Amino acid sequence: MKIAKAGVMGWPVDHSLSPALHGFWLTAHGVEGSYQRLPVPPDQLGQALSELHEKGFVGVNLTVPHKEAALGFMQRVTPDARRIGAVNTVFIDNEGALTGTNTDAFGFINNLRAGAPRWRANNGPAVVLGAGGAARAVCFALQNAGVAEIRVLNRTAARAQGLADALGAPLVAVSWDEAKDALKDAALLVNTTTLGMKGQPRLEIDLAPLPVTAVVNDIVYVPLETPLLAAARARGNTVVDGLGMLLYQAQPSFAGWFGVKPEVTSALRAHVLASMA
Ligand code: ATR
C-alpha cells in the first residue's frame, strides 16, 4: 500500500507542534502514513501546493503566513474556510484537486466544551480580546454555537469594527476603555491576542468586574498557564488553556487524510507538551 503523506507548510515551520501531534496519532493507530514539516516561503506557496499530489500527499496543514493566501490556490473552499477567511487544512482528492477547509473554529469550540463542560452558549455574553485571524475563527465558532452577544475588544478599534462588520450579528465592537462594562455580565472571556505569550508583553486587564462564574480561555499556550489564566484561576473562574484548541483542530484533518478518527487524550497532550520542552 502506498504511504499517505501529509504535513505542515509554513515559513518558518521549525516550531510547529503539528508533527508531534499527528505523529502520535499515526503511531497510536498504526496508520501507514507520514507527517512532515514543509518549509515553504510565501512566494512559492502556489507552486508547492500544486506539486503535492504528484508527490503522494493526501493533504497538508497551513500555518503562518500561508493561511489567507492559500484561499487563492484552492479548487474548492468550504463555507467555513470562506467565512473565516483562512485555510488551515487542505484535502487533496485522487485527481489532485485541492479543497481548503478551516478546522480552527471546530478546535476552539470543542476545546472549550471539553475544558468547561458546564459552559453553554446561552449562559451570557462572550468577550473576545483581539481582532486578528484567531479572533475571527473564535468569533465564528461562538456565533455558530448560538452565543447571543459577542463583544470584540481590540487595541486597534477599527479592526474590531471590521471583524464585527465581516461576521455580522451578534458581534459588536467595544472600545478597550469599556472593558469594565463589557466584562460585568460576561459568561466567557477569550484572549486571542498574542499578549501573555512568552516573549510578549503581558495582557493588562482588570478581572475584578468579571463574574466568578465566567469561563476564561486563553488561546496562547506558551506558557500553558498564562498570567491571565493564573489570575482567573486564583479568583475562582473556570479556566481553559490554549493547547487543547491545537489538539482538537487537528482531529478532523487527521480523520480526513488517514481515514481514522483520532481522540484527544491526556497521553496525546503529554506527548505534545514533552515535544515543546
Ligand atoms: P492572529 O492571526 O494570530 O490572530 P494577528 O492577526 O497578528 O494574529 O492578531 C494579533 C492580535 O493581537 C491583534 O488583535 C492585535 O491587536 P491589533 O489589531 O491592535 O494589532 C493583538 N496585539 C498584538 N500585540 C498587541 C499589543 N502589544 N497590545 C495590544 N494588542 C496586541
Q: Which atom of ligand 1 is nearest to the CA of 192?
A: 4
Same-domain status, 201 and 264: no
Same-domain status, 80 and 153: no
Neighbours of 81 (CB within 10 A): 26
The DSSP secondary structure of 45-95, one letter per residue, reads HHHHHHHTGGGTBSEEEE-TTSTTGGGGG-SEE-HHHHHHT---EEEE-TT
Same-domain status, 110 and 236: yes
Ligand 1 in reach of 133 Cβ (< 6 A): yes
Looking at the predicted structure, is the pLDDT value of residue 53 above 70? yes
Residue whose C-alpha is closest to residue 70's, from 45, 53, 92: 45
Question: What pLDDT is attached to residue 51?
Answer: 98
Question: Hey, which residues are catalytic here?
Answer: 67
Question: What pLDDT is attached to residue 1?
Answer: 60
Question: What pLDDT is attached to residue 146?
Answer: 98
The residue whose CB lies within 8 Å of the most ligand 1 atoms, and thus the one to mutate among 194, 197, 249, is: 194
Q: Total structural domains in the chain?
A: 2
Kindly report the pTM of this predicted structure.
0.97
Q: What range does the domain containing 161 cover?
A: 105-241
The pLDDT confidence band at residue 20, using thresholds 50, 70 and 90, is very high
Q: How far is the CA of 191 from the centre of ligand 1 (A)?
A: 10
Q: How far is the CA of 9 from the centre of ligand 1 (A)?
A: 22
Q: Which atom of ligand 1 is nearest to the CA of 134?
A: 4
Question: What pLDDT is attached to residue 2?
Answer: 78
Ligand 1 in reach of 154 Cβ (< 6 A): yes
Same-domain status, 130 and 211: yes
Share of the chain above pLDDT 70, in %: 100
Same-domain status, 114 and 96: no
Same-domain status, 159 and 222: yes
Q: How far is the CA of 101 from the centre of ligand 1 (A)?
A: 23
Joined together, the cell numbers standing for residue 239 give 479556566
> In this structure, what CATH number is given to the domain that contains residue 259?
3.40.50.10860
Average pLDDT value for residue range 255-271: 97
Q: How far apart are CA 53 and CA 59, in angstroms?
A: 8
Please provide the size of the chain in residues.
277
Question: What pLDDT is attached to residue 91?
Answer: 98
Q: Which atom of ligand 1 is nearest to the CA of 129?
A: 14
Average pLDDT value for residue range 163-183: 97
Give residue-wise pLDDT tens across range 219-262. 999 999 999 999 999 999 999 999 999 999 999 999 999 999 99
Looking at the predicted structure, is the pLDDT value of residue 14 above 80? yes
Ligand 1 in reach of 132 Cβ (< 6 A): yes
Joined together, the cell numbers standing for residue 125 give 455574553
Share of the chain above pLDDT 90, in %: 99
Q: How far apart are CA 151 and CA 261, in angstroms?
A: 34
> In this structure, what CATH number is given to the domain that contains residue 235?
3.40.50.720
Average pLDDT value for residue range 89-112: 98
Question: Residue 178 gets which letter from DSSP?
Answer: G
Backbone angles phi, psi at 205, to 5 degrees: -150, 135
